[in-house]
Structures are given as C-alpha cells and as structure tokens.
Structure 1
Amino acid sequence: PTPVPQSPHFVEGVIDLRGDIIPIIDLKKRFGIETAESKGPGRILVIQHDDMIVGFLVDAVTEVIRTKTQHIQDAPGRVVGVDTEYIWGVTKRRPESHLIMLLNVPKILVREDETPGIHEPPE
C-alpha cells in the first residue's frame, strides 16, 4: 500500500484496485493486538459496506462462508483480546466447530478521536 500522511496509525495506506482507491486497514493495529514478527506477507481482504470499499490487512483467509441470521449470537464480553464494540456477533459453521467473529465494519472505520458520521479531522 502507498502510505498516506497524517492518517490514523492503523491505516497502512491506499491501493488502486481496478481504478478505485481503497484504504487499507491493519486489523491488528486497529484492535491493539501486539504481535511478534509477521508470519508472512498477509492478505488484503476487500470488503464493501454500503457505499464504502475498504481493504483489511489480515494474516490469512482460510474460507468464506454464508450463515443465516438466526445462527448469529451476541459476542461474549471479549473475544481473543478484541473489544466487543468491534464485533457484530459470533457464529459457528457447525455446532462442534470454533467460533467465527463477525466484524462491526462501521465501528472499525471510525477513528477513536472521531464522532460517527463526522469525518473531518479535529482542530
């Protein structure tokens, strides 16, 4: 990604994806997850939410699933060190499988020093 001056610490930069400029957010930095050396180059997961397209820098993507709304539960107090304000809910692919976190994309996109819906930098 191309760095963007004065962007929040979790914004790695922007990329040009088929003519669209896409901001890239490092989810580890956004969630405050400390890590040692990265295990590899990672992947950019491109998400469209309403009219916004954003890329999330992640370690890996193992699969993409669909789930029914009735299978989504509220997130517990904290999930793997991530505050639940960033998690919309949790689900499982099968009853015996591990939890899958469903991210609250609008909350991830709001800067800590910003009121939702206001996108001008503070004075």
Structure 2
Amino acid sequence: MLNDTDKAQEIQRIREAAMYRLRTEGVAVAVQTLIEISGDRTAPKNARVVASRTLGEMNGLGGLDALGIEKPLSEMTRAELSAAKDRAIAYLAELERPPVIEGIAIEVQDGEAGEPPELGLFD
C-alpha cells in the first residue's frame, strides 16, 4: 500500500506522462487532422476555413500577428513602426497619469482640506 507521499509522486508521474503524450502524439494528431480537413475539398467550407485559420495561427500567420501587433520590429514597415510608436507613447502617457476616481471633484488649496459638498442620498 502506498503512503500519501508515494501516491502524490505517482499522480505527478502519471500527469507528466499524459502531458508528454499530449505534447507529442496529441499535437501530431491535431495537426494531421487540421491538414486533412483543410485539404479535403469535399469537407464543408466552414470546416475547411476554420482548420486553415487554425493552422495559420499555429504558424504565426493569423490572429494578432496578421494585424502587425505581434510582428517583430524588424519585419514592420515604416508606417507600422510609426503606428506602434504612437500606441506605445499614448499607453505610457496613460500609465503616468494619476488614477481618477469617479465622483464629484472637490477644490483643495495647498495645505488645506476642503469640506465635501452636502450630498443627498442618491447624488
């Protein structure tokens, strides 16, 4: 009979073996299936499109990569680099702004704390 430590080690060994099979045999089967579906002219068009898109995404040809978002800088055009720079500058400026709490703004002079305005129950 196994003690708790041995049981935990056996469970971990089984999980690692299953993950290894998934990452080797499982991926090979998945890719082969996608290739078969995308190349089968008798398969429904939507199935072929999904299979082809998935293969493209797995190869870095689709999804965000196709929009140039995850594209390496060395592969970007001048216009894409300029747009990426503008997005980065805007995002950095947003990060540097102090947080804003939604509500009523209260004027406060240096060194003094103002009293909050009187509010009703639903204001």
Q: TM-score, normalised by structure 2?
A: 0.20
Instruction: Give the number of the structure whose residues are more often strand, by fraction.
Output: 1
Bigger Rg, structure 1 or 2? 2
